[in-house]
Amino acid sequence: MHAHDAKSVADLLTRHGLRRTRQRVALYQALAASKAHPTADELYRAVADDLDGISVATVYNSLEAFCKAGLINKLPPAPTTDRVFDDEGEADADTAASEVPSSGRAARYDASTHPHMHIRCLRTGRVRDVPDDLGEQLLAHLPQDVLRRLEDELGFDVRQVQVELVGESRSR
Amino acid sequence: MHAHDAKSVADLLTRHGLRRTRQRVALYQALAASKAHPTADELYRAVADDLDGISVATVYNSLEAFCKAGLINKLPPAPTTDRVFDDEGEADADTAASEVPSSGRAARYDASTHPHMHIRCLRTGRVRDVPDDLGEQLLAHLPQDVLRRLEDELGFDVRQVQVELVGESRSR
DNA sequence: ATTACTGCAAAGGCTTTGCACGGGT
DNA sequence: ACCCGTGCAAAGCCTTTGCAGTAAT
């Protein structure tokens, strides 16, 4: 969809008032390339190959900076009731080293900032996007007038409608 | 709505195969009495007055047991981008000691298990329920056929539709 | 009598912070 | 030259765990 080569990412950073460091370019690329909404640690391991010696602090700092700049979103960790995390492998940029547990209560990051829905697997903790066509059909049916009544009655400004379909993926 | 006196809570526990200990009765009562979706620490402080010497471990163990028994639900902590937590006081069972920060990334618990929506305040991190009449109107409009198509196309069993309205409460 | 539950303290996982240095502008 | 961003290690917060003792069934 978008081009995520080093140059356009660098431009993106600059445009948002961030410096174009090797670390941040690599981090944003890794995140944008993934559909799996990786954790900070997964991103750390993903870029550690190319960028020798990057530190976790930098990963967290950079992700926080991206969030503040509105470049990416942070997703809450899944509630961890019951045994929820098996963690299997999957052929994706950031889950390549399919052996490390990457246990449960870590936040996940999302490079797409336009409104969309997520599905979260109870077994693996993985988060995927709902395809836009389906998501839009679902969101479009939320009656705006009810939302507005809610804002009036509760004195609450709704900035974002977070919809998450929680369940279990069938295969495997 | 429901009666949450010691006896009926004790019965509820027994009926779910849990022992009726003072600690668990008090914890469930405190949680059920609150509309604020308290954190483990908030519950700990709420019951520490009556139950002298209760430990945090017991709070966590009990809440986990309640979750497994299907008595309560665990909510994910809010993503903590930007300064999100001011923590003001509120006249509620578990937030009585309106002075302690109870900082950010703690899970919250919810005594109501029937499907309902939440609103989460970006400033305070507080979670409230959407009134049932409004919530039902919103949820009823989610087209079931689209959900079913989604399950087919992605091979995913949807167990729960988690809707959270994220925003900011106007007053204060 | 059995064993689930409790309390304590220590350990654990994820994230943040302080500080000196290096690289981007 | 300025100062944002980096790396390292230590500290922090929330939660879990091990174990000996206690109390519910």
Among A32-46, B71-85, B92-106, which range has the highest average pLDDT? A32-46
Q: Given CB atoms, is A163 within the 8 Å cutoff of chain B?
A: yes
Beta partners for residue A158, in sequence order: B167
- Tell whether the model's pLDDT for residue A98 goes beyond 70: no
The pLDDT tens digits of the residues spanning B6-63 come to: 899 999 999 999 999 999 999 999 999 998 899 999 999 999 988 988 999 999 999 9
Pairing of strands A118-121, B118-121: unpaired
Q: Which residue has the higher pLDDT, A11 or A125?
A: A11
**pLDDT on residue B96:** 39
- Number of A–B residue contacts, CB under 8 Å: 149
pTM of the full structure: 0.83
A77 → closest Cβ in B77, B81, B149: B77
Pairwise CA distance, residues B46 & B129, whole Å = 20
Pairwise CA distance, residues A47 & A33, whole Å = 12
CB contact under 8 A, B165 and A142: no
> In whole angstroms, how far apart are CA B11 and each of B32, B47, B115?
15, 20, 23
Q: What is the mean pLDDT of residues A20-42?
A: 96
- Protein A56 CA to nucleic acid D5 C1', in Å? 13
- Protein A57 CA to nucleic acid C19 C1', in Å? 13
Q: Which residue has the higher pLDDT, A86 or A74?
A: A74
Pairwise CA distance, residues B63 & B45, whole Å = 14
Pairwise CA distance, residues A46 & B103, whole Å = 30
Pairwise CA distance, residues B33 & B27, whole Å = 10
Q: A8 Cβ partners below 8 Å, 6+ apart?
A: A2
Q: What is the mean pLDDT of residues A76-98?
A: 46
Q: What is the mean pLDDT of residues B100-126?
A: 81
Nearest CA to B154 among A116, A127, A74?
A127
- Per the CB < 8 A criterion, the answer to whether B154 and A121 are in contact is no
Residue of chain A whose alpha carbon sits nearest to that of B140 = A142
- Total residues found in chain A within this entry: 172
pLDDT band at B103 (very low <50, low <70, confident <90, very high): low
Residue B125 gets the label, from left (phi > 0), alpha (psi -120 to 50) or beta, of left
Q: Given CB atoms, is A84 within the 8 Å cutoff of chain B?
A: no
Pairwise CA distance, residues A91 & A78, whole Å = 22
The pLDDT tens digits of the residues spanning B59-79 come to: 999 999 999 999 999 998 876
- Protein B130 CA to nucleic acid C14 C1', in Å? 31
Beta partners for residue B168, in sequence order: A157
**pLDDT on residue B92:** 44
- Per the CB < 8 A criterion, the answer to whether A63 and A27 are in contact is yes
Please state which of the ranges A45-49, A156-160, B11-15, B87-91 shows the lowest mean pLDDT: B87-91
The pLDDT tens digits of the residues spanning A6-16 come to: 899 999 999 99
Residue A113 backbone phi and psi in degrees, to 5? -105, -10
